[in-house]
Structure 1
């Protein structure tokens, strides 16, 4: 077993029943973490009761006074783990359960950026980390060109590790040297793309990100990737997608793509989300322009 000090960082908001199962999964790990920091994003359900009743060793709760979103929660939790001197930080959502040997399999692999491979409750591969994330081709409307699950039909078909170009903060393991080099996740994303942004910064700093086939993480919920672009989440999806293009687009045409997407949404709005989606996409473009600066490598 690795002698490194390992901290699990969990962000939760109003999903107490899922969190309870997730904490039970952490308690069953073959290689126990040295600390578990749960950022409770001002939940209004019985999350505080679940946390108070837990006997998980090393559990510490960080309760915020307002909902910081996943991005703000991971920023705060990772900052806490880093400042308390841990060598390895393992980021986790509240809707996943690790297999008992998941952490051990990750610690056996080489690299400072590693990610567990997700499956659904039936055992089907549902790992959506991109093996190709294209910020060079202006015609690629969606930058994710291929994912682990679209490249490999099953977990058994995967090699032992697969290099990926983005991650989700569900089972992502990052070592201390990465934080020292690139800083913390950007809390201004609130939700969506904060993990993508962090992965891009890590790769541009020279780190390779590998998905570890035998590190199994089970999602308790089905994926719902098709969010209502006319609803409140649609604003963040548009804004943060545009911010990634403005920050990291590899040529002027790619950095122009958000403007073209806005035009396309406006023209097709009668057939899509109507005025609400137009408001989201135009506000998203305006606010993404204010996010163009890449965060500094700070741990404050």
Structure 2
């Protein structure tokens, strides 16, 4: 029996959480796969705690065991995934499938990831353990989700599926992806540690997937599909984003510099080139809040010069 734990991090989005959980309960997987669900409530105040507690006590008709933890404070996506993945590892998961509460995986999304992981291990990289496999992420209208594109480092490879449907799968090597329907192997988590919880939000997925892919081959399984129910289909862009969201970019500029420092001088130079290009774009293209946008960038960058949280093992 293969044990998979799905980790969902949620914060004050009870309606989306209900939809996400229903999609997880409806996953069609082989009989030798046990799917458990672990919900990480980041101190929600909208009734999420009470609803989750009801779900946990009621159990699941499909034998999907549901577990949960309620954090005392909002630790952001980074803290939530740290907590959830640590719990899954400590409770014996063979693979850990992670997503936010606004992620709606199609019914065969997990099985396609499992098939892709097995095919990669057997055919594409037979001498290597696999780090992670990721799904295709679409927006609500079926178009590619701009915020959730993988970074490719290899050509597409077509393999024959070995799972329930035995259909062809398209795999493409990646070195980074976002935390929207990623399936990690136990060995990768054990040997490369957990996400950096101090990142809070933004950039934690890039840092962690780059860390995994430094050692293990990782792939995008294109036939595995999840819908990301974001309000708009737009990537992160401090130049044009709504003014009320601008303070959040502090974490992006702080965390990205921290990650760049870990990867050497070239990445730091790329960071600063992009930094000053964004400043120019704000000056010439932003419709409002130019001073606030630049101040946020500067605050994040200067904090990033000192920011160096420790990366330890899974017991950190």
Q: Which TM-score tier does this pair reach, normalised by the shorter chain?
A: 0.7 to 0.9
SS at match of 2:189: helix
Kindly indicate whether the alpha-carbon contact (under 8 Å) linking 1:88 and 1:176 is maintained by their aligned counterparts in 2: yes
Aligned to 1:121: 140
Aligned to 2:106: 99
Distance (whole Å) between structure 1 residues aligned to residue 52 and residue 298 of structure 2: 40
The answer to whether structure 1 residue 239 and structure 2 residue 246 are counterparts is: no
Displacement, 1:267? 6.0
Q: 1:7 to 1:266 in 2, by over 3 A?
A: closer
Aligned to 1:23: 21
Displacement, 1:283? 1.6
Aligned to 1:218: 227
Aligned to 2:187: 177
Distance (whole Å) between structure 2 residues aligned to residue 191 and residue 255 of structure 1: 20
Displacement, 1:253? 4.3
Kindly indicate whether the alpha-carbon contact (under 8 Å) linking 2:153 and 2:173 is maintained by their aligned counterparts in 1: no
Q: 1:99 to 1:262 in 2, by over 3 A?
A: closer
Moved more, 257-266 or 5-14: 257-266
Aligned to 1:41: 42
Unaligned stretches of 5+ residues in structure 1: 134-157
Could you report, residue by residue, the CA deviation over 1:205-252 in whole angstroms, capped at 9, with x for unpaired residues?
2x1111112212122334332454662112112112222211113xx3
The answer to whether structure 1 residue 190 and structure 2 residue 203 are counterparts is: no
Distance (whole Å) between structure 1 residues aligned to residue 5 and residue 306 of structure 2: 33
1:81-100 to structure 2, matched below 5 A, reads 81-100=88-107
Aligned to 1:201: 211
SS at match of 2:38: strand
The answer to whether structure 1 residue 79 and structure 2 residue 100 are counterparts is: no
Kindly indicate whether the alpha-carbon contact (under 8 Å) linking 2:7 and 2:97 is maintained by their aligned counterparts in 1: yes
Could you report, residue by residue, the CA deviation over 1:123-145 in whole angstroms, capped at 9, with x for unpaired residues?
33435112159xxxxxxxxxxxx
Distance (whole Å) between structure 2 residues aligned to residue 125 and residue 95 of structure 1: 15
The answer to whether structure 1 residue 289 and structure 2 residue 305 are counterparts is: yes
Kindly indicate whether the alpha-carbon contact (under 8 Å) linking 1:8 and 1:33 is maintained by their aligned counterparts in 2: no
Q: 1:63 to 1:238 in 2, by over 3 A?
A: same
Kindly indicate whether the alpha-carbon contact (under 8 Å) linking 2:175 and 2:218 is maintained by their aligned counterparts in 1: yes
Distance (whole Å) between structure 1 residues aligned to residue 276 and residue 235 of structure 2: 23
Moved more, 83-92 or 227-236: 227-236
Give the structure-1-normalised TM-score: 0.81
Q: 1:285 to 1:46 in 2, by over 3 A?
A: same
Q: 1:204 to 1:53 in 2, by over 3 A?
A: same
Give the structure-2-normalised TM-score: 0.78
* Aligned match for 1:67, one of 67, 74, 81: 74
Aligned to 1:147: none
Distance (whole Å) between structure 1 residues aligned to residue 113 and residue 54 of structure 2: 29
* Aligned match for 1:163, one of 154, 169, 173: 173
Aligned to 1:256: 269
Number of aligned residue pairs: 271
SS at match of 1:160: strand
Kindly indicate whether the alpha-carbon contact (under 8 Å) linking 1:247 and 1:292 is maintained by their aligned counterparts in 2: no
Distance (whole Å) between structure 2 residues aligned to residue 268 and residue 170 of structure 1: 29
